Structure formats: structure tokens, C-alpha cells
Amino acid sequence: MIDKIKLVIALLLVGGGVEGFYLLEDHAMVFRILAVLAGLILAAVLLATTVSGKTFFAFSRDSVAEAKRVVWPSRRETIQTTVAVFVLVLVMAIFLWIVDIGFMSLVKVLMGQGS
């Protein structure tokens, strides 16, 4: 039950930060953005004390660690793959265009409008 109350308070903190953004419309944009960031940071700190918040932050840390272990393709591999995709798309577009022309001619012949 305490966790649910904390979640509601965190949601209210985010809402308060957004509300602060609009209430400070006469001030510099930096203060308005700081109001939103303050609401988000306070909400994140409060969420970190809940069970679901701890689970979320642990999942986030694991996701970042997993992304660091991924072997990303080199620039050359990326360019080669991109070119292959574009060529395949072009070939399929030409093929479907030819099929479309064929079906259109067939329909015209069947309707008695073709030559």
C-alpha cells in the first residue's frame, strides 16, 4: 500500500513540475525547464524507494550493460547492408510495377476495353 502511495506522489511531483513550467511563463525558459527537471528528478528519487522502482532501475542498468556487450557492425558492413536493402526495394518495386501493368491489361481485356 505504501508503494502505491509513493507512486501517486511521484506522479503528482511530475505533474507539479509540468505545472511549474506553465506557471513560470513570465520567467526565463531555463527556470521553466528546471521546474520540469526538478519534478522528474524528485519523482525518480521517490520511485527508487519502491519495489517496482527498484526493479525498473535494475532492469535499466542491466539493459545498458547488455547494450555495451553488443558487437555493433562496422561502418563498411552498415553501408553494404543499406545498399543491399535499397537494391532489393528497387527490384521489388519494379517487379510489382510490372505485375500491376499485367493485371491492368488483363482486366481491360476481360472488360472488353483492351486491344
Segment 58-74 shows an average pLDDT of 93
**What 3 state SS string does 28-97 have?**
CHHHHHHHHHHHHHHHHHHHCCCHHHHHHHHHHHHHHHHHHHCCCCCHHHHHHHHHHHHHHHHHHHHHHH
3-state SS class at 115: coil
pTM: 0.54
Asked if residue 27 lies in contact with residue 4, where contact means CB atoms within 8 angstroms, the answer is no
Average pLDDT over residues 77-97: 98
pLDDT of residue 13: 92
More confident residue, 114 or 110: 110
Range with top average pLDDT, 22-26, 92-96, 107-111: 92-96
User: Mean pLDDT across the stretch 95-113?
Assistant: 94
Question: What was the pLDDT predicted at 115?
Answer: 59
Encoded amino acid at 105, one letter: S
